[in-house]
Amino acid sequence: MRRRNVAARGIGINVPALVFLTWSTLTTSLPGAPQPTNDAQELQLVVHPAPEPRPALRYRLLPPPAEQIAGNAAVYYGKATAQQHYFFADRELDERFWQWSDLPLEDLRKQGPASAPRIPDSIWSLLKRAALCKYCDWQVPPDASPTVLDQVAPELQQARSFARRLRTRARRQILEGDLDGAIETLQVTYALARHLSTGETIFHPLVACSISLTAFHTVVDLMQQPNAPNLYWALTVLPRPFIDVRAALEHEAHTIYRLFPQLLEASRHDGDTDYWNRQLHAISRHLASISQTDSNSYCPSRTDLLLRILARYPEARRTLIEQGIPVEEVDRMPAARLAILYTRYVYEQSRDRLLRLAYLPYWQVRPTLRQEAAQLVPELRRREILPVSRLLPAVWQPLEISARCDQQIALLRLIEALRMYAAANGGRLPTRLSDLPVPAPLDPATNKPFGYQVRDGAGIITCTPLAGGIRRVELRILRD
């Protein structure tokens, strides 16, 4: 069965209000609430011993600083798309790339590498050039209009298309025995993921994580080949976190001000009662248009809105005074302006309770964020006048997906460390990880060693399962 990333594929749809909604509105959970992890996978690998390369950093999975060039990688990715548009628009060809991305490598070996679809040299040279660039600016417009989605979605889909074609290229090179060439293709793939992760929407790093997963499976294909070089240090050099979602979360957390500039205006603009009544109802109407795309959202009627203001007025007044607004100013403030200011302050308090946790190590924040997510949204819904709780940034899911990328890289490092030990010990596996000739990586989900034991000649690696990640690896060494 074809394994396609449904979440990433869904980004290509053109839903006008999608840019108004956080990642949380695309899930069935409340914002920030953890999802049950029941989709973790198990891997069974057969590998060969492989010593540490000489020199140790002979192989790189990202271009080293000395080889990087000035320039914006997005320009080269755009040129690759524009130069041969027909190559990416050919559905039959795309289906062949899907096949070569998804089928087991042994099935493809029977077909022969000559049957693999190929990336034209002109596109490959542009992707290589992009990989060398020091930065990538996707030029995301600083607003939240529906046209932003129209501009962002094509580049996300195109990046996934690049990754699929790069995986096919690497797998063909593996079957041809060109392992150095496959590592070069992996370098371009990992650079694509890193470049995509710098985009300012939350969808950029999430699709980048999907591309990193593609690279993970390609490395797994590679390391199972005879004479596969050891990539322990190449994997160790990769930055951590490999996909950093924090900048995108910051941008998403401030989307509310682009949607509703009245929230900021209320703190610096006096106006009469009629003016602020109009502003309040403008926000309410906008929220109503957004809620039409989200069955879990609720938007109050004018009567409900008035009743909410009356019910929450004492708390709203107290909150504004605590924020340093003079009592006299609060008491003469139109009720609609007070409601808007209160909405802003309550949102910011809730937002920061979640967002601050994104700056702690994932293993440290994991249990804390579960508790915060479980308490925060119901609390905000009890306090809010305008229903902005659905616009909170969903911190949990992006952080877990980012940690999954780091966990997968750490697992690959551990497998390569075991291959390194086997190369120096007659193909045997160590009985404990402390015997490895290089440091054993820690599980990023716990900051503790991976579970490890030798059973019936196989090394069994276990880890904390993350959504869509790996739960267990059974590793067998073929003695050369």
Residue with tokens 């040129």: 79
DSSP, collapsed to helix, strand or coil, labels residue 356 as helix
DSSP string, 14-59: --TTGGGS-GGGGSSSPTTPPPP----EEEEEEE---PPPSSTTS-
Of the candidates 411, 409, 404, the residue with the CA atom closest to the CA atom of residue 449: 411
How many angstroms from the chain centroid is the CA of residue 206? Answer: 3
Of the candidates 255, 280, 269, 279, the residue with the CA atom closest to the CA atom of residue 386: 280
DSSP string, 205-220: HHHHHHHHHHHHHHHH
| pTM for the predicted model, two decimal places | 0.86
DSSP state of 441: P
Helix (H), strand (E) at residue 471: strand 470-477
DSSP string, 345-362: HHHHHHHHHHHGGGGS-H
How many angstroms from the chain centroid is the CA of residue 439? Answer: 27
Per-residue model confidence as pLDDT tens for the chain (480 residues): 333 333 333 323 232 333 333 333 333 333 333 343 456 789 999 999 999 999 999 999 999 999 999 999 999 999 998 877 777 778 888 888 988 988 999 999 999 999 999 999 999 999 999 999 999 998 877 664 544 556 677 888 889 999 999 999 999 999 999 999 999 999 999 999 999 999 888 889 999 999 999 999 999 999 999 999 999 999 999 999 999 999 999 988 888 888 889 988 988 877 888 999 999 988 888 887 766 555 455 566 777 788 888 888 999 999 999 999 999 999 999 999 999 999 999 999 989 988 998 999 999 998 888 777 778 878 888 888 888 877 888 888 899 999 999 999 999 999 999 999 999 999 999 999 999 999 999 999 999 999 999 999 999 999 998 888 899 999 999 976
Measured CA to CA, the distance from residue 339 to residue 346 in angstroms comes to: 10
Backbone φ and ψ for 293, nearest 5 degrees, come out as -95, 0
First to last CA, the chain: 34
Q: In the numeric block, which tokens belong to residue 105? A: 């490598």
